Structure 1
Amino acid sequence: MGQIAWLGPQDPFPNPFFEADPDPSVPGLIAVSERIYPGQLSRAYQLGIFPWYSENQPVLWWSPDPRMVLKPTEFKCSESLRKDIRLFCQNTNSQILVDADFGAVIRSCATTSRRDQDGTWITHEIMDAYTDLHEQGNAHSIAIMEDGQLTGGLYCVAFGGMVFGESMFSRKTNASKIALASLSAWCLQNKIEMIDCQQETAHLRSLGAAPISRQTFLEQLQISLNQTKIEPSWAFDKSILQYWL
């Protein structure tokens, strides 16, 4: 049994592509650090690693096996969701705002109550770190607005041709699904083949996500990062939802 690396500010991550889980009793846990250091989050994502921990814990860095992913071509747009998308598009007081208020979206993801979940993993440190990533152009928000109110949305991370979904929230039925439908349609439009969903849940399965091996995920990640960098515009609006109608 190996030892999980404790990272300082300049220490490199173990590369999960080449190195097995250091402690098989905690599968997927790659490293630990006292805090999220500057530049660390960017380096982690490009190795297929992400932070997930609770308040008053050290920062736990993960690369799970299997890895849950959503291929935009396999997004499941149910009849009830398609109906809500149609109503949303017909409402002259509804809109999708991309990167308009990243802070509001990530705070909503952190504070919206969820069934069977006590508290949140989106700590103040997480919000600060992803806001920095947003300011660098590698994290994005999608806000669903209806009658001037934020009813749902999501935030994600993007490097090269890979999009990493982070968290969604809804204050109205299907609002977060509308945000994911818009992201999936945008990915299809820009030939992005995979949205990383990190860990398996029944909710993600219902939307078309499926687990793949860590090795397969990391291979696809490397292909996406090594491609000529995709620089698509994130300035889409609700018209992108016409793809599902």
Structure 2
Amino acid sequence: MKVEGIAAIVTGGASGLGLATAQALAGAGAKVALVDLNEQGAKAAAEPLGGIGIGCDVSDAASAEAAVARAAEAHGPARILINCAGVATPGRIVGKNGPLDLSVYSRVIAINLIGTFNMMRLVAAAAQSLDPLDGGERGVIVSTASVAAYEGQVGQAAYASSKAGIVGLTLPAAREFAPVGIRVCAIAPGIFETPMLLGLPQDVQDSLGRSVPFPSRLGKPEEYADLVMSIIRNPMLNGETIRLDGAIRMQPR
């Protein structure tokens, strides 16, 4: 799909992977809506891109519906959806103080997995009625999984299972939307320079970077964005989750 002039929605767009992707899309001529729980951050990030920032809780049906409608009002129905909104709340299933509070697990699943599904269903519902572009395409959806979906560490039960859910969602969604020309892929990043990781002490960041076989460093959000753009532009990429991790395989701890 050619990006220029196309309406796009990026969740988690106020920072990290989402912001880098929104910048790449805008740089290629897309009309970008940055959707984030941090509405002020989304608006501030969208301004230099010529886009719009929208406050939204992706795990809430009404909030997501309002955000998609607001984006469509500004730019027309989105053909591109990039799901980057997510949280990584840690916690052992049974810790020193007993079993993990179920609300902690539920919140991670709600934001990471249900939020991805929520935005997918809404954007796809509108995109399927649009006129097809060259090659019959109507839309592209890219979601964010994680290497934790495959090698979840101790204390990552909620996060790993939410990301495994995204991996499991990708193929059936791609198969369902194939007749209307909407492609669905996911990216499973390794250890990247997100706000959460950049808040760790420098020696911890350096140690994490050295654990990556090559290149032995943290991934850059721009590298995630580059892969998103490649997926959008390559019509044969569909139904696949692509690892972007420098060949790292996470250890149990």
With normalisation by structure 2, the TM-score equals 0.29
- Which of 1 and 2 has higher RCO (CA within 8 Å, sep 6+)? 1
Answer 1 or 2: which has greater strand percent: 1
